[in-house]
Amino acid sequence: MMHRIDAEALAYSYTSGQRVLDDVSTHVATGEVTGIIGPNGAGKSTLLQLLCGLLSPESGNVLLNKSPLEQYTDRERARLVAYMPQSVSPAFSLTVREVVALGRFPHLGPFGSLGTPDHEIVQDCLGQTETSHLATRDFLSLSGGERQRVLLASVLAQEPQLLLLDEPTSSLDLPHEAAFFRQLRTLSGRGLGIVVVTHDINMAAQFCDRLVLLGKDHRLVNQGGPSEVLQADILTDAYGSPLLVGEHPQTGGPFVTAPVGGI
Amino acid sequence: MTLGNTRFLLLLGLVSCAVIFTCSIFIGTETLDLGQAWRELRSLTPLSEAPTLSILLMQRIPRTLAAFLAGGGLAVAGCAFQALLRNPLATPYTLGVASAGALGAWVAFLLADVTAAIPLLALLTSKQVMAFLFAGLDVFLVYLLAARRIHTSPAVLLLAGVTLGMLANAGIMFSRYLARPDRLVNMDRWLMGGVDVLGYQPVLLLAVGVIPCAAVLLLQAARYDQFAFGTTLAAGRGVNIGRLQTTTFFVGSLITAVIVSEVGPIGFVGLIIPHGVRLLTGPSHRLLMPLSIVAGGAFLCACDIVARRILPGETPIGIITTMVGGPVFLYLLVRRRFSDWNV
């Protein structure tokens, strides 16, 4: 079954009244990787949190499988849509296995006891993210790349249909970043819907099926396939600063960089 | 933590609790002669003419039950506050809840003369209700401070709690100044904390307040576990953050207020018990919280034995728990990492 989230004319302001998102309509669905890109402060993370109901829009609607998101209970929603925040700081030390097991929460009863199937799912998620060998390690002792993989395993343990990630690779070096995106592609190949907020336009170009480009004015500038969205004039408009588009040395797809000394 | 280990710990906890419980019933200013009590029971002597049985039934057993309920309640409230504020030093006492509750109960003492004539008003200004109102106000103020910034440092929260506690204490001082001198002795004794209850009415009030509240907090254990990684991840997992905060602050204040109004402000149980139990069980609240109830109850029973038997006279129990808890608190404060807490 196909699962999707539709956003209709979303607007959101901080309590101070400052507008951070204005009239954004888009959709995300299972089986594809959607990248949300745009300049700092465009409202990318806000859009992501609106899509999974962590924030409520000031106006507009979010529909999960054609039904308003607020009609779902928190747990029902969490069984369909998982959210991975940009960074986490655990309050106390937990082993990697315990961290991943926390992801089972929306499937558990009132006492939160894990059954045999739950333990099997946790093991499977450790395997999928190649973190099985870390299972008994203290989460706080892991490197940045390992932490992100474990965190990914923990949201996978939620067994969602759609997985929303907020800048998951911002603290990773380039090879680790590429590896993480390859992992996301693999997951989408298994039918999971991926939505990822990223600053790295080139990673988005290389690994996303669809891009949603937000502009400095907090509005939707363009959405569609990478070669459709990543054009010099569109990007320059969105970022309010000139950007150059060339070709990726290997794939020939769009490759974005900044000009020397400005134009 | 393996299942075998867990079962062993649970068993150990329950056995030591039972031992302390039994000791608490038989050790006292006068050692109880069980045979004598049994003979008095067999002969169906009226309680007024059966001193040993009377001590057992009307003093030792209610006292032990009261100590157990109060200790367990304070410990589980400590667990809940620590989980919610993600801070190992947050307890009913360090957040000022206990002092505020004491001020509430104190105000009720003072109002008693005025309101006694009007039944409804007397109920509204009863010790329990006033203690809860003041404790709730304190928690609300601390929460406002905590919610204002996402990363409120432990120091800010603690200072806020300590400051509110000092304010409450100033209020208590003021009302002592206003109180009739002949009442001061009783009021002062209450302020030092004590589980030296007579009969079952205080025990019943404690049980009615503590047991349902503790049950509600225990049911949140899996949600507190989710808080380990912060509110956004927990919310994404389907934890209703607002509801959990409201429930915890409300129920945590209620449980503290009920305990404070019955046995006075007893400090540090909510700090040292969850900390000690966590060393054994790890951070999972599903294990930590029930074991903290048992350990907290046993700890207060043990302190009460010390109060009755080892120290001269009947030392107020609040003095003992603070003398034990204060150094532990300092020890936690000066260490950079709180054992398994990442603060």
On average, the pLDDT of chain A sits at 93
| CATH classification of the domain holding A210 | 3.40.50.300
Preferred mutation among B237, B277, B337 to probe A, highest tally of A CBs within 10 A: B237
Domain residue ranges in chain B: 3-31+64-334
Write the residue in B219, B233, B341 that is nearest to A92 by C-beta: B341
- Chain A partners within 8 Å of B222 (Cβ): 105, 108, 110-112
| Contact yes or no for A95/A150 (Cβ under 8 A) | no
ipTM > 0.90, yes or no: no
Residue A86 lies in a domain: yes
Interface contact A72, partner B, CB < 8 A: no
Residue A75 host element (H or E): helix A74-80
Closest alpha carbon to A75 in A120, A112, A124: A112
Strands A59-64 and A67-68: antiparallel
CA distances from B92 to A80, B147, B305, B327 (A): 38, 18, 23, 17
- With respect to residue A140, please indicate whether it lies within any of the assigned structural domains: no
Report yes or no: B81 and B270 within 8 Å, Cβ to Cβ.
yes
Residue type, A76: E
Contact status of A92 with chain B (Cβ, < 8 Å)? yes
Q: Average the pLDDT over B260-280 and give the result.
A: 86
How far A8 CA sits from the closest chain B CA (Å)?
21
- The CA distance from A40 to B146, in Å, is 28
A24 is in which domain, residue-wise?
A: 4-92+160-257
Per-residue pLDDT band for B276 (boundaries 50, 70, 90) equals confident
A-chain residues near B338 (CB < 8 A) = 92
Residues in contact with A141: Cβ distance below 8 Å, sequence separation at least 6, in sequence order: none
Domain B3-31+64-334 has CATH 1.10.10.10: no
β-sheet with A33-37: strand ranges across: A81-84, A162-166, A193-197, A33-37, A210-214, A220-224
Partner residue opposite B238 with nearest CB, options A78, A94, A110: A78
Collect all residues with Cβ–Cβ distance below 8 Å to A203 and sequence separation of at least 6.
A169, A177, A178, A181
Number of domains in chain A: 1
CA A42 distance to own-chain centroid: 16
Per the structure block, which two tokens stand in for A235? Answer: 């990007």
The Cα A160–Cα A169 span in angstroms is: 20
Residue A253 belongs to some domain of the structure: yes
Looking at the predicted structure, is the pLDDT value of residue A25 above 60?
yes
Q: In the prediction, which pLDDT does B339 show?
A: 47
What per-residue confidence (pLDDT) applies to B1?
45
Query: Which pLDDT value is given to residue B7?
Result: 74
Find the mean pLDDT for residues B219-248: 90
A168 at B interface, C-beta within 8 A: no
Report if residue A117 sits inside a domain: no
B227 shares contact with chain A (CB less than 8 Å):
yes
Q: Is A135 inside a domain boundary?
A: no
Please compute the mean of the pLDDT values over residues B279-300 and round it to a whole number: 89
3-state secondary structure (DSSP) of residue B278: helix
Q: How many helices (H) and strands (E) does chain B have?
A: 16, 0
- pLDDT, one tens digit per residue, over B92-151 is 877 888 889 889 888 887 787 777 777 777 777 787 788 888 988 888 887 777 666 555
